[in-house]
Structure 1
Amino acid sequence: MTYYYRIAQFPQDAKRIHELNYKTFVEEIPQHRPNENGLMVDRFHNENTYVLCLKEEEIIGMIALRSTRPFSLDNKIGQIEDRLADPPKNPVEIRLLAIDSAHRTGRAFFGLMQALVNWCLKAGHDAAVISGTVRELKLYTRMGFVPFAEPVGTEEATYIPMIIVHDTFEQGAAKRLGLPMVNLLPGPVSIAESVQQALGKEPVSHRSPAYAQLLTSTTDMLKELTGANHLQLLQGTGTLANDAVAAQLSRIAGKGLILVNGEFGRRLTDHAKRFGLSFDCSEKDWGKAFCMKQLEDQFQSHHYDWVWFVHLETSTGIVNDLERLTKLAKENGIRVAVDCASSLGTIPVNLTKVDFASSVSGKGLASYAGLSFVCHHAEIEPDETLPRYLDLGLYGMKGGIPFTQSSNLLNALHQSLMNILESPTQHFEHIYLQTQRLREGIAHLGFRLLSAETASNSNVLTIELPPNESSKKLGDDLFLNGFRVHYESEYLTERNWLQLAVMNDVGDVAVERLLDVLKHLKKCRPTCLE
């Protein structure tokens, strides 16, 4: 039997919540007096956040969460922190844990607790406390709750103050559920166990022969993956790598053109402005492809020395045509710079004819954030007019190690590249097939995908929600059900967009489960919005 979870947000949710309250805390546990309407409205109803458990579209269980102090438990035993040896910094109180008796199985209870923990993680809570009924003490203990004070209540309704933190939950309910969180963010991405182990190796000096050998092996694999002639590894994010590219463009006399059809193309213009570059900007609506004929006319009617664009525009999911853009630029004597932060490792990338390309360790390459690199076609001489940290020529002169570098991050990246290059064709095929299955399934469910035609080869899917639905609420509900999706960036929230990014192999089972959850979350919405 499959259960689904969401936050209470629709008008009819309240009545079902009050009914469950009455059945549980009036009829079953005699904590409150009966009434004629069969409803019990909690005194903190307007302060509660309710996590609901559904079977199909029927609400069969709930947990109320309240972070306003004092807790009801504070009023019973005094401030809870005084009873705890290691008090939490930001606790939340669980109240009104109730499941319809027809569905009262361990699976439903544990699923609600998984949704609870997911919600707490997102809201920044480090612990949850509850007055646990003695009737379900064994079940609470199996979930990971630990008693921390003497029982309270009456003889008919006795409760034990209990607390759960993330670690005890992981040792309790999480092991029994066996449903790990599925990561569909464009970053940070899921990290393979072998990469995690590589990160934890004993660090070595960046001046040691062992480090130099590791760096050479890593850069060789990156060159194999990209076809690049030269590559310099930087200690920092993609922002640093793009600053290094801007530094090289500043050495080219003349004017450039920056292509913008999303947030990260827009950010390239900011890099260029900060370096005082002379450039024009060719803008398209977000998610729209560039017209090659228009660009050809622009290249021929203006004298540009360089063009800079994003390969996979993460903010929309569109893939700008790297091969055609590079060919067109070269035919017009224009140097090419490209941001490959989200494309490298997720779709095949050929940089053999690209002058400068930036990318990162923490997205499609499935390692930890903190390393970036710049591929370049020709050798670069050091330039003392540039900041030392951005001088790619200095990196080349120093064998790629001009400054202190982290062997731990390099170990992790090296291992992640080994994982990809073990079978690159299969790696890219898994990402493509899983993305296509999601694309087809989402369209079948009636969701609108941005740039459905022009982004068909993209591994980042952007769902456009109508004004009467909220991308944030849908994203929160998906998180409750075990899926991390992309919806909280400002450029997404202001457009009411939600994204699913397949940055590595998430597994066919996870893809089907996501589509199933989306189907049920969507089925409850039209009824509620009529």
Structure 2
Amino acid sequence: MNSQTVNVSTGPVQISKQVQKAFAASPISHRSKEFRHLYNDSTEFLCERFNAQKTYLLSGSGTVANEAMIWQIKLLGGKGLILSNGEFGERLIRQASRASLQFIEYALAWGEVFELQTLENEIEKNKIEWILFCHCETSTGVLNDFDSITEICVRNNCRCFVDCMSTIGTVPLDLSRVAMATASSGKGLASIPGLAIIFCNNTVVSSEQIPVYFDLGMYDKKDGIPFTLSSNLLKALQISARQKLQSNQFELIDEYAGSCFDLLKEKCLLSFNESRSKVFTVVQPGNTSTDLVVGLRQKNIIVSHESEYLKLRKWFQLAFFGYYKEVQLDRVFKTLQKVLNCPI
């Protein structure tokens, strides 16, 4: 990547120079007072911005955050319902199965929309005590109806657990009505990958029956830091969250993501998406998608196309997860126009 490259992939994402500098600094001990201040400042800020009672940080990817959340569901017990309409809903089902959770599935074809009345009927009929779903199904870009699903959960006294990997930092989000939600440092918060984030509004359970690294009760006993955590990753996240969660960033990204959405929709390249989403899955038969990826890459625009599920279907994705300046997003839009042979 050179200085002219603009990253509109699903991750790693476009980061600021300040985040790069923090990551390159000399590390400090996770047992030091300086680290404790950094940790408290970062987690308190995230709690405040997303209206959560507590935030846990673990070393690892978003999948690690989901593992920790799933083990908490297991300890809380009860019969659950897992929603799936894409690659990452299916992954939640696989993770839950390995943890031997008791649940049923509401599974649809990729990109289809959950029928809310059917969902509520399933909860009532099966005496469901918890629900697990992806807010944004990243594989297609479909936004599942967070507000309505959480409202159904509240109405039915049902705990709500949500994978928010592609919405934390990309859309306004209030987590006050969920039991837990997960995120990652390397997506919408525009930092370096490597920190798994768990937002929590219920009392966590500790047990020797689950892997110690996923035991959030252990984190409580050790004031959040039972194991090594990278000071570089934490400092980078502290900086990036404050940069990204600004109204001017939301407004800038909304404007240009909306313009790119309209352009792709006009060319009939989007089968799943809605303009509110910040990840657009480009679907076109034949090898045209490959040609478009090459055309964008030649102009130093980085998109996602190497994930197994994308390669299998010859899809690619544009995602506005990073931290951007207007000149960068303007270049993305104009380059997309050229590659699609649109008049400028």
Please give the range of the TM-score, normalised by the shorter of the 2 chains: over 0.9
SS in 2 for 1:273: helix
Aligned counterpart, 2:272: 451
* Aligned match for 2:224, one of 393, 400, 404: 400
Matched, 1:496 2:314: yes
Q: In the alignment, is the contact (CA less than 8 A) between 1:463 and 1:499 conserved in 2?
A: yes
Matched, 1:477 2:301: no
Distance 1:522 1:438, change over 3 A: closer
Matched, 1:430 2:252: yes
Q: C-alpha separation between the residues in 2 aligned to 1:228 and 1:503? A: 21
- Residue 473 of structure 1 and its aligned partner are, at CA, apart by 2.6
Matched, 1:464 2:283: yes
User: What fraction of aligned residue pairs are identical, expressed as a percent?
Assistant: 38
1:288-303 mapped onto 2 (5 Å cutoff)? 288-303=112-127
Q: In the alignment, is the contact (CA less than 8 A) between 2:310 and 2:316 conserved in 1?
A: yes
Q: C-alpha separation between the residues in 2 aligned to 1:229 and 1:500? A: 33
Aligned counterpart, 1:208: 32
- Residue 355 of structure 1 and its aligned partner are, at CA, apart by 0.4
Q: C-alpha separation between the residues in 1 aligned to 2:329 and 2:195? A: 29
Distance 1:496 1:394, change over 3 A: same
Q: Which amino acid aligns with 1:456?
A: S
Per-residue CA deviation, residues 231-269 of structure 1 (Å, 9 max, x unaligned), is 111011111111101110111232111100111111001
Distance 1:521 1:408, change over 3 A: closer
Q: TM-score, normalised by structure 2?
A: 0.94
Q: Which amino acid aligns with 1:360?
A: S
Aligned counterpart, 1:227: 51
Q: C-alpha separation between the residues in 2 aligned to 1:192 and 1:520? A: 27
Q: In the alignment, is the contact (CA less than 8 A) between 1:367 and 1:413 conserved in 2?
A: yes
Q: In the alignment, is the contact (CA less than 8 A) between 1:195 and 1:367 conserved in 2?
A: yes
SS in 2 for 1:374: strand
SS in 1 for 2:76: coil
- Residue 512 of structure 1 and its aligned partner are, at CA, apart by 4.2
- Residue 505 of structure 1 and its aligned partner are, at CA, apart by 4.5
1:87-126 mapped onto 2 (5 Å cutoff)? none
- Residue 418 of structure 1 and its aligned partner are, at CA, apart by 2.2
Structure 2, unmatched stretches of 5+, are: none
Aligned counterpart, 1:80: none
Matched, 1:247 2:71: yes
Matched, 1:441 2:263: yes
SS in 1 for 2:75: coil
CA RMSD of superposed structures (Å): 1.8
Aligned counterpart, 2:149: 325
Q: TM-score, normalised by structure 1?
A: 0.62
SS in 1 for 2:276: coil
SS in 2 for 1:354: coil
SS in 1 for 2:182: strand
Q: C-alpha separation between the residues in 1 aligned to 2:257 and 2:74? A: 38
How many residues align? The count is 342
Q: In the alignment, is the contact (CA less than 8 A) between 1:238 and 1:360 conserved in 2?
A: yes
Distance 1:404 1:515, change over 3 A: closer
* Aligned match for 1:343, one of 167, 179, 182: 167
1:145-164 mapped onto 2 (5 Å cutoff)? none
Q: In the alignment, is the contact (CA less than 8 A) between 2:75 and 2:205 conserved in 1?
A: no
Q: Which amino acid aligns with 1:442?
A: L
* Aligned match for 1:312, one of 110, 113, 136: 136
Aligned counterpart, 1:149: none
Per-residue CA deviation, residues 130-186 of structure 1 (Å, 9 max, x unaligned), is xxxxxxxxxxxxxxxxxxxxxxxxxxxxxxxxxxxxxxxx7xxxxxxxx71110101
Distance 1:447 1:509, change over 3 A: farther
Distance 1:217 1:208, change over 3 A: same
Larger radius of gyration: 1
Per-residue CA deviation, residues 383-404 of structure 1 (Å, 9 max, x unaligned), is 2222110000110111001111
- Residue 203 of structure 1 and its aligned partner are, at CA, apart by 1.6
Distance 1:513 1:206, change over 3 A: closer
Q: In the alignment, is the contact (CA less than 8 A) between 1:312 and 1:320 conserved in 2?
A: yes
Greater strand share, structure number: 1
Q: Which amino acid aligns with 1:226?
A: F
Q: In the alignment, is the contact (CA less than 8 A) between 2:281 and 2:316 conserved in 1?
A: yes
Structure 1, unmatched stretches of 5+, are: 1-117, 119-169, 171-178, 525-530
1:160-199 mapped onto 2 (5 Å cutoff)? 180-199=4-23
Higher RCO, Cα 8 Å, sep 6+:
2
Matched, 1:486 2:308: no
Per-residue CA deviation, residues 159-218 of structure 1 (Å, 9 max, x unaligned), is xxxxxxxxxxx7xxxxxxxx7111010110011011111122222111111111110000
Distance 1:523 1:211, change over 3 A: closer
Structure 1 range deviating more: 507-516 or 248-257: 507-516
Distance 1:447 1:332, change over 3 A: same
